[in-house]
Each structure stands twice: as structure tokens, then as C-alpha cells.
Amino acid sequence: MTLKNYSFTFDPDKKGLRKILGHLETDVMELVWVEGEMTVRQVHKKLKSRRNIAYTTVMTVMSRLAEKGLLRKVKEGAAFVYRATSSREEFSRSTVRKVVNGLLGDFTEPAISQFVDSIGDSQPENMEELARLIEQKRKKKDV
């Protein structure tokens, strides 16, 4: 499964990656992104220092993340080593692309209008950047 095929639920009321992943999934992915590769035992050890969590729970979550295509599981010796299938940035970009395309597909005018309004209200300094990106995209289409 590629990252393009990963399906998720979007919860706008949560913070950061928790909008897309569960709390434990987010914690596991953050650790793997930082370390590069980890075994279940290594992840469990790090998480256990922050919360009371069973080894089997961590193993289940990591296996599910591998089934979803977010982690790759490779047998090394007696243990499985897990690696992220994409960087945190690639994952974020892919997820944002899916959310935006989904909104534009079903709610084109209100999505565009709300996006511009939100930037104008909360980040007016980014309006020029938005205009620059739109102009850059127009020029590429004309070529």
C-alpha cells in the first residue's frame, strides 16, 4: 500500500497530527520519524516512560500502522524493525492534499472562499504569498 492509498478520518477539533491519527499512532509515528527505525520494544520503552502502556498495545498499533502503509516492517534477526514509508513532511503534504482536494471536490466555492477568508483574518501577512503562488501557477499553465 502506498501513502496515496492511505485513508483516514479528519477531526478538525484535535491538534497537529492527531487530527488524522489517533494519540498513540501519532506518538509512535513521531518516534519513528525522529529515530529513523525502531523495534516494538524500543518504542514501548520510550512510551512507557511517559504513560502506562502494554507492550502488546504498542505491537498492535505498529502492526496496524504497517497495514495502513505508514510503516514498513522488516525482519532483522529475531525482531521486526519498523521504518516510516515517508517523511513527516511528505505525510503532512499528502494528507493536506487529500483534505483540500476532498473539500474542493464537493464544496469548491465555499472551500476557496473560506480558505481566503481564513488566511486574511488570521494570517494577513500570508495574503501576498498566496497571491504570488496563484500567479506562479497561472504562468506555468500558460507555458
Q: Which residue ranges make up each domain of the chain?
A: 3-85, 89-142
- What is the number of other CB atoms lying within 10 angstroms of the CB of residue 47? 19
The answer, yes or no, to whether residue 115 has pLDDT greater than 90, is no
Neighbour tally for 88: CB within 10 Å: 14
Q: What's the CATH number for 3-85?
A: 1.10.10.10
pLDDT at residue number 6: 73
- How many of the other CB atoms lie within 10 Å of CB of 29? 22
Output the pLDDT for position 1. Answer: 45
What is d(CA 58, CA 114) in angstroms, rounded to the nearest whole number? 39
> 10 Å Cβ neighbour count for 28?
27
pLDDT of residue 2: 54
At residue 126 the predicted structure's pLDDT band, cuts being 50, 70 and 90, is confident
Alpha helices (H) along the chain: 23-35, 40-48, 55-67, 88-122, 127-142
What's the pTM value of the predicted model, to 2 decimals? 0.81
The predicted-structure confidence for 2-45, as pLDDT tens digits, reads as follows: 565 677 888 889 999 999 999 999 999 999 999 999 999 999 99
- Say whether pLDDT at 142 is over 90: no
